[in-house]
Amino acid sequence: MFLEELVNEAKNEGAKLKLGEEFNEKENYDLIIDAGGFASTYARRKGLPYHGYKLAPAICGYGRSNKIKEDTLYFEVYSFGYAWIFPYGKNYCNFGIGGHTIFKEELLVNLKRFLKSR
């Protein structure tokens, strides 16, 4: 349900969703999202070039909390990236932080602070 709602909201804002299509470098894109993870080769096989792109390290996990609302997404933006909590089911969530930083401690400190504030 979350992904369907996210896709519908993006379309309502004017986004064009392309799933399973070849990447065409000649087309003009504002944003390309490859959420397959570091080890994924799907986007590369579909033609998305990765030369010159930076990887964004992330720390993520799953948890339980009775403070997390099932219908709310939680985000906090930092100069290097963002933290998130995505609820799924009653009292369960996916949480994490990621961005362009080489300092693991910076990620951990901000993630702990973000989680405590929720």
Q: Where does residue 52 rank: exposed (0-12), middle (13-18), buried (19+ CB within 10 A)?
A: exposed
Q: What is the pLDDT of residue 82?
A: 92
Question: pLDDT tens digits, residue range 31-75?
Answer: 666 666 655 666 667 666 666 667 788 999 999 999 988 888 899
The ranges assigned to domains in the chain are 1-53, 58-116
Instruction: Say whether pTM exceeds 0.85.
Output: no
Question: pLDDT tens digits, residue range 96-112?
Answer: 999 888 888 999 999 99
